[in-house]
Structure 1
Amino acid sequence: MTHINVLDPGASPLDYYGFELRRHREAAGLTQRQLGEIINYTGSLVGQIETARKLPTPEFSERVDAALGTGGLLSRLVGLVMRSQLPAWFQQVAELEARATEIYTFQMGMVHGLLQTDPYVRGTLGALDRTDLDDRTAVRLARQRIFEKEEPPVLWMVLSEAALYQEIGGPETMHGQLARLLAFESNPRINVQVLPFSVGAHAGLTGSFNLYRFESDPTIVYTESYGSGHPTANPHTVKDCSLRYDHLQAAALSLTDSAELIRRVMEERYGEQRDSDGDPVA
């Protein structure tokens, strides 16, 4: 007899997801293999997700919802599952991102996670530890689903010019990442300004920080150190960081000039490399 792992649906969001997936599959009279064939995944993967040994993805959830007629249940659950897999100290930040109407971020050394590409995420997360890199990458990218909401937040990112030159993941990865930033040029809800080297000393020299603003709740300031995050609604801190951000935006290039600089760096520093005959270098 095949041993069936019995999940406690109250143990975690991942366990609850697996429990619901199995319940709806069995109610439809399908085996794991049969469901896998319908949604174009392996039966083994279905089993791993049902037993909370593998993270589901948004795409997997959407396909299962369509196949089993669950009314979007698993697609709604997958965001909660992904947030639960974040480090405990960061889970509150993901909740702030999900609730905020406006997000303002100043980044010193790299692109903010909400705008990172898959290869760039892998380059940052895998710099020291490549354990479970696929799952950790999926979890970070899942945070970007906040932009798919009916009323997505407005995001402003002031990015130090240094981040354009900090080569994470190699030239191809950087080319793709900068191209991703340029893809938002016509999106009024996602705005990128570059703080150029030429400004010299500036209001953000003490480090990166985020401001989260809400419909009715107080504004939250978030800063980060190794292995810990520090959200606060202290009015003095909020006032200080809001003023700092105003000065950073004023010192940064305009949206148009920022895009021109990003494009120039992308093409000149990370563009296709060619040999003396003009052929692409493998």
Structure 2
Amino acid sequence: MPTRRVITGRSQEPRQRFVEELRLLRAAKGDSLRELGDKLGWDWSLFGKMENGHTLGSPEVVQALDQYYGTTDLLLALWELAMADPTQFKERYRRYMVLEAEAVSMWQYSPSLLPGLLQSPEYARELLMEGGLKGDELEAQVEARVGRRESLLRDDPPQFRAILSEAVLRSPLEDPGEWQAQLEHLDMMGHRLNITVQVLPSSVGLHALSNTDTMLLRGTDGQTVAWIETGYSGELVQEAAAVERLQLRYDRVRDLALSPDKSRQFIERMLEEAPCEPLT
């Protein structure tokens, strides 16, 4: 059979293809951005940012566009591909993002920050701003990070266990309302059948992963790899003996953590104690 040729002339890169379809569909309708915003009930500037590739928008917006254009779920399917596209991440993380998207099981230990898969947009934005990002690059990276959670919400999601050091939950956002929303989001995600959240109390003292943010990923081939990270860089660990050592350390930390039920109670107690007004 001859090799299939690309005949549409449209981009094969998911994010760019999504942008192209948005532009083509609006042009076919003959709407201006303002007219589109008025008809769908969203600020027209959002559609402008989507068509410029500055944001992918939310699934609710994309579904409304599908309905308006009569494209069934075409735009939503392209949106999902764009959200999962590893090229939107910084180059050094792309291989890891591919492995994360394909994983059937994931186990993470976080010593100081909430896992990216469980971060709210506000948490991700404040963290990335502290890292020096701003403007369009900041918004693109916030969107990319938050988009990673889609893998946990699909119909056949991977199993994900997150062990959080108590220090993670004792490091609030600057805005109390945003911190409250983050804790509520964490509590909600922890109630999903495929997600287990455990808290490691500070009282356990030193342990095998005290300063190592660790993610273990098992793929469809049954092989497990690890990703270890600091605030400056990350490293993919694939050598079997090294992965096994990290798995053993992770298991020891899990043995020290509160049970899922007690961890949920801990998070709900944090919600009750969270300040409602900025500290002065």
TM-score (norm: length of structure 1): 0.83
Post-superposition shift, 1:237? Answer: 1.8
Match of 1:236 among 237, 241, 245: 241
Match of 1:183, SS state, is: helix
**What residue is the counterpart of 1:39 in the other structure?**
40
Trace 1:84-95 onto structure 2 (pairs within 5 A).
Answer: 84-95=87-98
Instruction: Tell me whether 1:166 sits opposite 2:171 in the alignment.
Output: yes
Aligned to 2:104: 101
Rounded to whole Å, the distance in 2 between the matches of 1:76 and 1:249 is 37
The answer to whether the 8 Å contact 2:46/2:57 transfers is no
Tell me by how many angstroms 1:115 deviates.
0.9
Match of 1:112 among 105, 110, 115: 115
* Residues 212, 230 of structure 2: 8 Å contact kept: no
Mapping 1:71-150, distance limit 5 Å: 71-82=72-83, 83=85, 84-132=87-135, 133-150=138-155
Per-residue CA distance 1:212-247 (angstroms, 9 max, x = gap):
112325212111244543223211122111111111
Q: Which residue of 1 aligns with 2:225?
A: 220
- 5+ long unaligned stretches in structure 2: 1-8
Judge conservation of contact 1:119–1:169 (CA < 8 Å) in 2: no
User: What secondary structure is seen at the aligned counterpart in 1 of 2:109?
Assistant: strand
Question: Structure 2 counterpart of 1:55, which letter?
Answer: T
**Residues 145 and 188 of structure 1: is their aligned pair in 2 closer, same or farther, counting only changes over 3 Å?**
same
Q: Is the Cα contact below 8 Å between 2:213 and 2:230 reproduced in 1?
A: no
Structure 1, unpaired ranges of 5+: 1-7, 274-279
CA contact (8 A) 1:15 1:51 kept: no
The one-letter code sitting in structure 2 at the alignment partner of 1:182 is: D
Q: 1:33 deviation in Å?
A: 4.2
Following superposition, the deviation at residue 51 of structure 1 comes to: 4.2
- SS of the residue corresponding to residue 193 of structure 1 reads strand
Q: Report the Cα offset of residue 60 of structure 1.
A: 2.9
Matched with 2:5 is none
Q: Distance in 1 between matches of 2:26 and 2:239?
A: 48
Letter in 2 for 1:220: V
Cα distance change on mapping 1:111 and 1:166 into 2, 3 Å = same
